[in-house]
Structure 1
Amino acid sequence: MPTARIWFDILTPKQILFFGPLVKSLRKEECDVLVTSRAYRELEPLAEMAGLKLTFVGERGGKGKEAQLVASTERQSLIIPIARDFDPQVAVSVASGVCARVAFGLGAKHIAVNDSPHSEIAGRLSLPLSHHLLCPWVIPKSAWGIYGLAPRQVSTYRALDPAAWLKRPALGGPVPKLKSGKKTITIRAPESDAPYLAKADSSFMRKVLGAIAKGFAAHNLVVLGRYDQQVLQLQKEFGETFIVPDGPIDGASLLKKSDAFVGMGGTMNAEAALLGVPTVSAFQGSLYTDRYLLSEGILSRAGTPASIVKTLGRILRDDFKAAQERKAMKILDWMEDPVAVLQSFILKAAMQA
């Protein structure tokens, strides 16, 4: 007999890295675990690298509001019989509206694990139906009040999310071929299809890449896209100057080979900083995780192409990287393992179901 029945809905590459160790650990505890997902670039090959079997149901639906609404509604209809037959005691997701709605309708507890209160659309579709939320301790409980969560419904762990995989061996997947004898700058493209960036400058990425290409042409330049169309655009516009991988890569292993990182999102900013890679956050907004890393001195912030280039020139020094690595190692060692915290909470919730 399984000790618990737990359903995970995993929607992004980051969630594979974050939830993968937890799924494996729960299965070792003889829990019955269902892991669903949807069609998304990088997910299936990354899941194979992580040794995680996914049940794919539906798709995201692209950038348009109506297309996403139709895709979400269709996915919900498809997933209901799967979840009903599995009969979970607990459902877990970052902010899957489908998972939260189906779990609520079937009488299961939905537990959200989320570090992105700025992502309002996803939050509004999932968090009001959640039994509980767990998040990094750097995010105040009051940040979740707009989603109808009382402070007693929010618990924290003393870690940033990348600690879940950085405290474990790297996946050992592919890494782009880099020219020896050159320093490497890796850039992560923004999540341009995300609703929270709908009002952001759509030309920002091109301006940043153009400035970096002009200022650091003698370096290995790698840019990581998020969507098929974005990757094709990057290859077309910047393929002569930048390495633009069109398949999954082992992000942590690439970062370890990088001398600097520029992130236009959130997760890889934290991942790079905690690995001791000199990191520039170029996210078009404000993140609690960035604020913490800034306060600890392992992240820089730059909001314009010119300031990004200037900051890169400062942080590419060998002595700067050595100091960053020492600071980051202490911080990562101090953080607790999120997997252990989440497993304990989820099992307790399942037993009380």
Structure 2
Amino acid sequence: MKILIDVLTPKQLLLFKILKRELEKRGNEVLLISRRYYEVEEAVKRFGGEVTYIGRHGGKELYSKLIAYGERVCEIARYVSEEGIDLAISFSSPETARVAFGLRIDHIAINDSPHAEAVARLTLPLSNLLFTPWIIPEEAWTSFGIAREKIVKYRGLDPVAWIRRRKPSRRIYRELGLEEGEEYIGIREPEIWASYIEEKERRKTREVIKWIIENIEFKKVILPRYGVRSFIRGFEDRKDVIIPRKMVDGLSLTYFSKIFIGGGGTMTAEAALQGTPTISIFPGRPYEVEKFLIRKGLIMRIEAKKELKEAFNTLENQRKEIAERASQLLRYMEDPIRKIVDTLSEYYDL
């Protein structure tokens, strides 16, 4: 089969490079496409991958998102028709789902984020299968228009796929300009342009990050999003703040962090599953993966800066216990890629 995979984020690049390799082992031809978007382009430079760029990121404004969507649908439609694609896979890409539906090609969705409602509404009714972590209730998906029998669950979280295949490297210290073993706090900004995050939540999260920068004595490594630094403007010149100029290896950065502060989902889960004491500052309501990791005692959720000092002290005292719980949970989980490939082989005789 000739399979198209749409890669929209760095996380998806890590996941889909593995999926591509496993599908190719079974004799399939797999083409990766993406869009012009700083984070993906930097990830491709860092981790490699043969990617065809089609269209662009729509930015933060609703109008520009809509226009970029329409343009990209047209361009992907031409590409799919010219290449003779048999099957499309995406992490709920609205453009690829729409093109596949319009050209009567099966679309396979992978998704762990029912809180991203707009994306789910635009893709799941058009998808032939949905692969998702077992902890997310089926009702969270069927409400968006996909039938229960089309949902396939895997007993794992997405970062398991690359955590099991790669090892953290101490080269991260050199990349960050630190002495090997020097303690630092890793901080990942939230997706401030995401449609599901309100402005008041953005402001509150920025205040939390500001408090950490001004009150925690260790070096702070801050990973901005979208190639812009507006969210942390005013902190760049501090000697205790490191803002990498290029994309760094997130697996290593989260593993060696003294404490990791996550504003998004992927790196928060990645840190937690590696046993790093982790605080979530995700703006908005807790999401399913976050709630699960909180129940397992692997992350703490902070919604106000006044809670931070106590959280830091608590995590410092539980470091060993957190590492043990993470190791046990990681052993319990299955490889999402294996589940996806085995299931697709049953459905499509790959």
Asked if these proteins are the same fold (TM beyond 0.5), I'd say: yes
Structure 1 residue 233: Cα displacement: 4.6
- In the alignment, the residues of structure 2 paired with residue 155 and residue 25 of structure 1 have an alpha-carbon distance, to the nearest angstrom, of 19
Q: Does residue 106 of structure 2 align to residue 109 of structure 1?
A: yes
- Deviation, 1:182, is 4.4
Please say if 1:196 is aligned against 2:196.
yes
Q: How many residues align?
A: 345
- In 2, Cα distance between the equivalents of 1:349 and 1:314? 48
User: Is this contact kept in 2: 1:234–1:244, CA < 8 A?
Assistant: no
Coordinate RMSD, CA, aligned: 1.9
Distance 1:200 1:149, change over 3 A: farther
CA distance in structure 2 between the aligned counterparts of 1:303 and 1:238, rounded to whole angstroms: 24
Matching residue of 2:18 = 21
Compute the TM-score of the two structures, normalised by the length of structure 1.
0.92
Q: Counterpart amino acid of 2:339?
A: V
Residues 32-47 of structure 1: pairs in structure 2 closer than 5 A: 32-47=29-44
What TM-score do the two structures reach when normalised by structure 2? 0.93
1:162-173, aligned counterparts within 5 Å? 162-170=159-167
Structure 1 residues 347 and 171, CA gap change in structure 2 (3 angstroms): farther
What CA distance in whole angstroms lies between the structure 1 residues aligned with 2:153 and 2:203? 36
Post-superposition offset of 1:191: 0.2
Task: Report what 1:208 is aligned to.
Answer: 208
Residues in 2 aligned to 1:132 and 1:200: alpha-carbon distance in whole angstroms: 36
Q: Name the structure 2 match of 1:323.
A: 321
| Cα drift, residue 238 of structure 1 | 4.2
Residue 339 of structure 1: aligned partner: 337
1:223: which partner in 2? 222
How do residues 1-353 of structure 1 correspond to structure 2 at under 5 angstroms?
Answer: 4-170=1-167, 175-179=175-179, 182-216=182-216, 218-229=217-228, 231=229, 233-234=231-232, 236-240=234-238, 241-284=240-283, 285-317=285-317, 320-351=318-349
The one-letter code matched in structure 2 to 1:29 is R
Q: Tell me how far 1:322 sits from its aligned partner.
A: 2.1
For the 8 Å contact 2:168–2:255, the answer to whether it is kept is: no
Alpha-carbon distance in structure 2 between the residues aligned to 1:171 and 1:324? 18
- Residue 262 of structure 1 aligns to a residue in which SS? strand
Q: Distance in 1 between matches of 2:76 and 2:309?
A: 46
Q: Deviations over 1:27-63 (max 9, x none)?
A: 1222111111001113123224333110001101211
Partners of 2:59 and 2:142 in 1: CA distance: 29
**2:196 aligns to what SS in structure 1?**
helix
Deviates more, 1:239-248 or 1:136-145: 239-248
Cα separation, 2, equivalents of 1:167 and 1:342: 16
Q: Is the 8 A contact 1:90 1:350 kept in 2?
A: no
Residue deviations 1:118-153, cap 9 Å, x none? 001111111111111110000011101221112111
Alpha-carbon distance in 1 for matches of 2:266, 2:231: 22
| Aligned equivalents of 2:6, 2:242: Cα separation in 1 | 32
SS at match of 1:202: helix
Q: Is the 8 A contact 1:298 1:328 kept in 2?
A: yes
Is the 2:46–2:247 Cα contact (8 Å) retained in structure 1?
A: no
| Residues 39 and 236 (structure 1), Cα distance of their counterparts in 2 relative to 1, 3 Å cut | farther
Bigger mean CA offset, 36-45 vs 133-142: 36-45
Q: Note if contact 1:278-1:316 (Cα within 8 Å) is conserved in structure 2.
A: yes
Secondary structure (helix, strand or coil) at the match of 1:201 reads helix
1:111–1:133 Cα contact (<8 Å) kept: yes
Q: Name whichever of 133-142 and 279-288 sits farther off.
A: 279-288
* Moved beyond 6 Å, runs of 4+: none
CA–CA separation in structure 2 for the residues paired with 1:19 and 1:234 = 31
SS of structure 1 residue aligned to 2:261: strand
Equivalent position amino acid for 2:190 in 1: P
Matched residue SS, 2:165: coil
Distance 1:103 1:170, change over 3 A: farther
Unaligned runs of 5+ in 2: none
Shift of 1:204: 2.0
DSSP-derived class of the 1:326 partner: helix
- 1:5 touches 1:90 (CA, 8 Å); kept in 2? yes
8 Å CA contact retained: 1:90, 1:349? no
**Take 1:30 and 1:171, find their aligned partners in 2: how far apart are those partners?**
31
1:253-289: CA deviations, max 9, x gaps?
A: 1112111111111111111100000011111221111
Determine the C-alpha separation between the residues in 2 that align with 1:74 and 1:345: 33
Tell me the amino acid that sits aligned with residue 342 of structure 1. Answer: I
CA distance in structure 2 between the aligned counterparts of 1:48 and 1:348, rounded to whole angstroms? 34
Q: How many Å apart are 1:326 and its aligned residue?
A: 1.6
The letter of the residue matching 1:92 is: I
Deviations 1:147-166 (A, max 9, x none): 11121111100001110111
